[in-house]
Amino acid sequence: MRQYLNWKTYLAVIALLIVSASLYYTGQLAGKLAIEERKKVEELAHALKTFVTSNNSQETTFASNIIERNTTIPLIITDEKGGIIDSKNIDTTHTINNGNVVEEKLKEFKKIHTPIPVDYGTGKNFVYYGESYLLTQLRYFPYVQLAIIVLFLVVVLIALSAAHRSLQNQVWVGLSKETAHQLGTPLSSIEAWLEILRENDGNNEAVIEMQKDLDRLKLVADRFGKVGSAPQLEEENLVTRLEGIVEYMQKRAPKKVIIALHKKEAEIPVNISGPLFDWVMENLIRNALDAMAGQGRIDINVSNHPQQVWVDVHDNGKGIPGHQVKNVFTPGFTTKKRGWGLGLSLSRRIIEKYHHGSIFVKQSEVGKGTTFRIILRR
């Protein structure tokens, strides 16, 4: 249970308690007000009887004042057969369901309250009544309050999530730039040592291979240095770029792993930052290699669409459990024994923020493999 109990849960529970208490208290107030309104209607009904039957002028004047003072509770007086005799505090300027307003209100009042009889001795009238505007407002107040609290919680959660993401981004960007900075000194030193080796005969083959690895390290440092800075996107042939990545990674993959590129067109122009896009693809391929037991296939499928280009990276490795799929792009999340869990987080940043595209797990099944999809806009 502890994995589900976080600050968001506590915040939601507190909000629920506040709303529940408000609903209860408001319900109590509304109930008391409803009782008071019924008492007023009963007094009014008694005053109405007095006004009609009494011969005492003082009593009739007092009864008339009681009737006139009611300016809030809507009333309808009917005879014994249900015919409408009079109404009070009902807005008749608008029609309801294209019918008589008072008749429609009478149907409504019959459902709300039991009528109060007025016995004149020679006959009876019935007083039907509704709820005052104040009581209606009081009944709806908790729901308005609930809406305000929900809106407030949504705003707070969005603000906190944005602040959390911003803080994470600053941490990872700072870490990336610091890594690039730290790599700079040893790379310069290695380059100087290579120059010394070139001066001695017999080291040509070793120097060539070492130079390739040095250039690769420089590229890696350059990629880390560009994280956090808006790169310049240039139009490139995506197919050519992917072919170079596949060729590079195939040489460094286990012999029983095949990395294949599938495309229907030889040229697909897109605007990308080459070094950063290479980093994303290599990260996906390395993750796929880690998911295999030294053998299998990695298929890269490129689909060209009018407004988008899709790049699917599929492997037949161990797959990702369903409950972990939503966390794979979270900074620090990793299923490996070693690693910082930054690769996919930075990959998402590169694709979404710099290339204005998207990257997600299209499909994954334990024991059958995983497919990541990158969508690049035209």
Q: Where are the domains of the chain?
A: 2-131, 138-207, 231-377
DSSP, res 302: E
What integer pLDDT is reported at residue 3 of this predicted model? 46
Q: What is the mean pLDDT of residues 100-112?
A: 86
Which residue shows structure tokens 């001795």?
Answer: 121
CA distance 368 to 179: 35
DSSP, res 254: -
Contact partners, residue 55, CB within 8 Å, separation at least 6? none
CATH class of the domain comprising 231-377: alpha beta
The more confidently predicted of residues 260 and 56 is: 260
Whether the pLDDT of residue 362 is over 90: the answer is: yes
Q: What is the mean pLDDT of residues 343-357?
A: 88
Q: 79 — phi, psi (to 5°)?
A: -85, -175
What integer pLDDT is reported at residue 341 of this predicted model? 63
Contact partners, residue 281, CB within 8 Å, separation at least 6? 242, 245, 300, 311, 313
Q: What is the pLDDT of residues 280-333, one digit of tens each?
A: 999 999 999 988 888 999 999 999 999 999 999 999 999 988 888 888 888 766
- Min mean pLDDT across 2-11, 105-114, 126-135 is at 2-11
Which residue shows structure tokens 């030889």?
Answer: 266
Are the C-beta atoms of 325 and 361 separated by less than 8 Å? yes
Listed residue (252, 154, 166) closest to 209, CA to CA: 252
Q: 82 — phi, psi (to 5°)?
A: 95, 5
Most confidently modeled range among 57-66, 152-161, 323-332, 352-361:
352-361
The more confidently predicted of residues 219 and 35 is: 35
Are the C-beta atoms of 296 and 317 separated by less than 8 Å? yes
Are the C-beta atoms of 319 and 369 separated by less than 8 Å? yes
Residue type, 19: V
Q: How far is CA 207 from CA 66, 185, 199, 212, in A?
A: 109, 20, 10, 9
CA distance 238 to 240: 5
Q: What is the pLDDT of residues 219-244, one digit of tens each?
A: 777 767 766 666 789 999 999 999 99
Q: What is the pLDDT of residues 147-177, one digit of tens each?
A: 887 888 788 878 877 877 777 667 667 777 7
The more confidently predicted of residues 361 and 329 is: 361
Tokens of 179: 């890594």
Tokens of 263: 């495309």
What integer pLDDT is reported at residue 250 of this predicted model? 92
Backbone CA torsion sign across 290, 296, 302, 308: negative
CA distance 217 to 197: 19
Q: What is the mean pLDDT of the chain?
A: 83
CA distance 120 to 99: 31
CA distance 142 to 20: 9
What integer pLDDT is reported at residue 229 of this predicted model? 66
DSSP-derived 3-state class of residue 164 = helix
The more confidently predicted of residues 93 and 350 is: 350
For the chain, the helix, strand and coil percentages under 3-state DSSP, each to the nearest 5: 55, 20, 25
Are the C-beta atoms of 327 and 333 separated by less than 8 Å? yes
By CB neighbour count within 10 A (0-12 exposed, 13-18 middle, 19+ buried), where does 248 fall? middle
